[in-house]
Structure 1
């Protein structure tokens, strides 16, 4: 069997995840419960249930929200109670385009040096490190760990950190 068998059966690529909406993706993609809790707390279900919503969303897995709460020395469940801060942090993960132009970004569209426009008046920067796409914010950076999840008219990428628009020391404690 050996090499000839391996050549005949190339490594299968995982089937891309496809959902009707961002909210459905939050409900079905593993380890995104904290993001869903924040969305529910901010009453954004109707917006994220719109199949025509054309955004690029960078969504941290649950353990990265937990890590942020430990860094802030707060209970993970109390983070959602600071509605203003959570809205600011969440919207920082929603990208509308680049340079004022509305656009979606799959991983093939993300190039080192790009600036991405978030829904807050901040930008995220794209870099690459050892072949991995990194998204950089003022206070943190994250790698894309599960790319190109179709969510209605948009695309989501699961990332390995919470992007914050300030340094950890500047975040108000709650």
Structure 2
């Protein structure tokens, strides 16, 4: 049996067609990056299938999952569906699917914000989410290529791009993303 079938069936049933297609693209890209970089492909694929499983849920549902597992104590994060869906998805993956591998849960949890010292698997899911074929922002082709040559440089570029995007639109920036950017830009 395909070990990812329950994840695929869940996201297909609970996400819009567009979000499901995005998830499949992330799975494909994460698998390719994992194979290329010698990362744990199973970890990457599990996280990729589940990374957005809570993306279209209500703020109340996201807060429930985050409170249930006491994983968010930041005021900005508590008010943002975009920031909450990763931690909520990690909690849901643990509770609903019995995922206990911290590498999978961390890759899901941090796939939108990043953090310093991410594992290769976390970096791969973060970057696969940002570089799917449906992404069309300026520079995405260069980022896709960089993902296959240097994960750390790709992370620095991706985080910088995210920070610029948010700042140009006057949107709040999660301090964890700034910390992650500072880590990667220093090449640590």
TM over 0.5: no
- Does 1 or 2 have the higher relative contact order (CA < 8 Å, sep 6+)? 1
Q: Which has the larger radius of gyration?
A: 1
More strand per residue: 1 or 2? 1
